[in-house]
């Protein structure tokens, strides 16, 4: 005789609530969000993209020499490995094409509304009402903001910036109608972008003037092409590509990503030795070498990776200008010593406003409180993904996340998995609205600020990592801790 007990009975199927989801931005994280939402069974997804193409930062940044400073096989989706990357650190156009191909293969374009910039978001009736630049309106149960970090160009506050008679543009708005061949070109800035541009254009221009405010530590890079036979091997044996990715992930985390969050680590000291040797061995002129030597710890600013910068800046037609800029005049840049550097083209490689995130969208949360009000003292989010008072709104690569020393694709994948677990509670009817508790967010922020004091970012430099308080706006712990907290939400930290 067979007896069916209570434990033997099949679980009763839960009727899942249909949800409508909006994704803002069709860059790396937005493409990922669309794919994973649909894989989770949420079919009613709309992705709003203000531009006419996808790709985010890889669509907008097209300057000469652009490349990723994270190994390409790590800066790629885990579910879409690419055996055909041409180099270990791929050029921007190749990454853009990879993102486009993944989007096409997964049907992302079917749900993207190009040319639709979200202007306002208002929380009402348990969801979000969105209005776009075309006047289109829609109501969504969930919004995922994949709006990026390095997105809004920062223009320098230099007198006369509007009077220059030649071509002047920000590096993220490169004017490809301007031919640099045989021209006198000035590049303002010495971050990763400026250094990539310098190496790419110095042999084409008549003269290049690089205006340096602060010297950078430069990690040497041997970015040789990946041989065709090796790429063929990755295609024929996908497991070898997976092994490479796993090796690179571990190596990148242990030898760099985790090093910068411990200013006293042996790994960071080793990086400093490598960078110092690179400078001393590659720059022969002691005066130029001294001007290129930073007065701060390696990786206090974002570490620059380059195989050709030191050679490029020593070309006969290149000049490193370290005297501060006084103003821009119709014919060039005048420095504080009175020298006029006559130029035909000025490139502003002056970085981005990194505190914008979902803004300039006007976001009004529960009770009508705006995001600008909530962030009056600076952007803040629980574990970088959610903000108290803004239910069912989730941020990818949001405030104070692992932006400075990790692959943002890896970060976004972990965040999407975390967010989907919260969204599952909405679908199951466990909750109709989810937001982090204010006290949990405050506790996390206090712990983060304390931990940040042990990182290299507070050892004596001015960088875009630092917020208005001088606190690094970044994840201050090893990457394994981020993996751990993203594995499963602690529901006690949320209001359900």
Q: What does the pLDDT read at residue 353?
A: 87
**How far is 433 from 456, CA to CA, in rounded Å?**
39
CA distances in angstroms from 79 to 45, 73, 281, 409, listed in the order given: 20, 12, 41, 11
Q: What does the pLDDT read at residue 1?
A: 33
For the chain, the average pLDDT equals 94
- Residue the block writes with tokens 């996390």: 444
**Tokens (6 digits) for 334:** 């005048």
Task: Report angle CA 459, 460, 461 to the nearest 5 degrees.
Answer: 120
CATH 1.10.3720.10 fits 20-152+353-495, yes or no: no
Q: List, in order, residues 6 or more apart from 195 with CB less than 8 Å away.
A: 216, 218, 304, 306, 309
- Tell me the domain boundaries of the chain: 20-152+353-495, 167-217+261-348
Q: What does the pLDDT read at residue 246?
A: 94
CA distances in angstroms from 373 to 287, 384, 389, listed in the order given: 50, 18, 11
* Three-class secondary structure of residue 137 per DSSP: strand
Q: List, in order, residues 6 or more apart from 350 with CB less than 8 Å away.
A: 153, 154, 155, 156, 170, 171, 188, 189
Fold agreement between 20-152+353-495 and 167-217+261-348: yes
Q: Which of 191, 178, 407, 214 is nearest to 309 (CA)?
A: 191
Maximal CA-CA distance, the chain: 101
**How far is 55 from 372, CA to CA, in rounded Å?**
27
Query: Helix H segments across 215-265?
Result: 228-236, 238-252
Model pLDDT for residues 343-380, shown as the tens digit of each residue: 999 999 999 988 888 999 999 999 999 999 999 999 99
Q: List, in order, residues 6 or more apart from 76 with CB less than 8 Å away.
A: 82, 85, 98, 245, 409
Q: What does the pLDDT read at residue 215?
A: 97
CB distance 358 to 24 below 8 Å: yes
CB distance 77 to 241 below 8 Å: no
Q: What does the pLDDT read at residue 363?
A: 97
Q: What does the pLDDT read at residue 486?
A: 97
pLDDT per residue, tens digit, the chain (496 aa), is 333 333 443 444 568 899 999 999 999 999 999 999 999 999 999 999 999 999 999 999 999 999 998 899 999 999 999 999 999 999 999 999 999 999 999 999 999 999 999 999 999 988 999 999 999 999 999 999 999 888 889 999 999 999 999 999 999 999 999 999 999 999 999 999 999 999 999 999 999 999 999 999 999 998 999 999 999 999 999 999 999 999 999 998 888 889 999 999 999 999 999 999 999 999 999 999 999 999 999 999 999 999 999 999 999 999 999 999 999 999 999 999 999 999 999 999 999 988 888 999 999 999 999 999 999 999 999 999 999 999 999 999 999 998 876 889 999 999 999 999 999 999 999 999 999 999 999 999 999 999 999 999 999 999 988 998 999 999 999 999 999 999 999 999 999 9
Q: What does the pLDDT read at residue 417?
A: 98
The CATH number of the structural domain formed by 167-217+261-348 is 3.50.50.60
């Amino acid at each position: 005789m067979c007896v069916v007990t209570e434990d033997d009975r099949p679980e009763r199927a839960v009727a899942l609530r249909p949800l409508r989801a909006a994704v803002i931005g069709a860059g790396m994280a937005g493409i990922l969000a669309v794919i994973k939402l649909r894989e989770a069974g949420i079919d009613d997804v709309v992705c709003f993209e203000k531009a006419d193409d996808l790709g985010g930062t890889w669509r907008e940044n097209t300057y000469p020499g652009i490349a990723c400073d994270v190994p390409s096989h790590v800066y790629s989706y885990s579910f879409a490995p690419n055996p055909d990357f041409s180099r270990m650190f791929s050029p921007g156009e190749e990454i853009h094409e990879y993102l486009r191909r993944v989007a096409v293969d997964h049907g992302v374009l079917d749900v993207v509304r190009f040319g639709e910039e979200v202007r306002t978001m208002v929380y009402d009736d348990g969801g979000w009402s969105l209005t776009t630049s075309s006047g289109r309106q829609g109501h969504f149960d969930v919004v995922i903001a994949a709006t990026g970090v390095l997105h809004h160009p920062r223009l320098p506050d230099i007198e006369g910036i509007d009077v220059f008679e030649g071509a002047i543009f920000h590096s993220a708005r490169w004017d490809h109608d301007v031919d640099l061949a045989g021209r006198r070109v000035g590049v303002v800035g010495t971050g990763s972008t400026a250094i990539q541009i310098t190496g790419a254009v110095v042999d084409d221009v008549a003269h290049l003037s690089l205006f340096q405010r602060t010297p950078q530590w430069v990690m040497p890079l041997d970015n040789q092409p990946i041989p065709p036979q090796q790429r063929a091997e990755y295609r024929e044996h996908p497991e070898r590509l997976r092994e490479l990715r796993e090796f690179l992930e571990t190596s990148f985390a242990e030898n760099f990503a985790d090093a910068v969050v411990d200013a006293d680590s042996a790994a960071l000291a080793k990086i400093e030795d490598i960078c110092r040797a690179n400078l001393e061995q590659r720059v022969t002129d002691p005066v130029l070498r001294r001007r290129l030597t930073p007065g701060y710890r390696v990786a206090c600013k974002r570490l620059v990776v380059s195989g050709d910068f030191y050679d490029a800046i020593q070309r006969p037609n290149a000049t490193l200008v370290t005297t501060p800029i006084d103003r821009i005049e119709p014919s060039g840049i005048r420095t504080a010593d009175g020298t006029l550097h006559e130029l035909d083209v000025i490139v502003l490689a002056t970085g981005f406003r990194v505190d914008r995130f979902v803004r300039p969208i006007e976001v009004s949360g529960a009770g009508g409180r705006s995001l600008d009000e909530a962030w009056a003292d600076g952007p803040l989010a629980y574990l970088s993904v959610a903000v108290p008072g803004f239910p069912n709104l989730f941020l990818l690569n949001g405030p104070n996340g692992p932006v400075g020393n990790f692959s943002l694709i890896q970060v976004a994948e972990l965040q999407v998995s975390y967010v989907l677990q919260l969204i599952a509670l909405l679908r199951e009817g466990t909750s109709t609205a989810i937001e982090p508790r204010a006290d949990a967010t405050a506790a996390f922020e206090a712990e983060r600020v304390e931990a940040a004091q042990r990182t290299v970012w507070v050892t004596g430099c001015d960088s875009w990592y630092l917020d208005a308080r001088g606190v690094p706006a970044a994840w201050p712990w090893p990457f394994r801790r981020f993996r751990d907290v993203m594995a499963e939400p602690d529901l006690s930290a949320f209001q359900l």
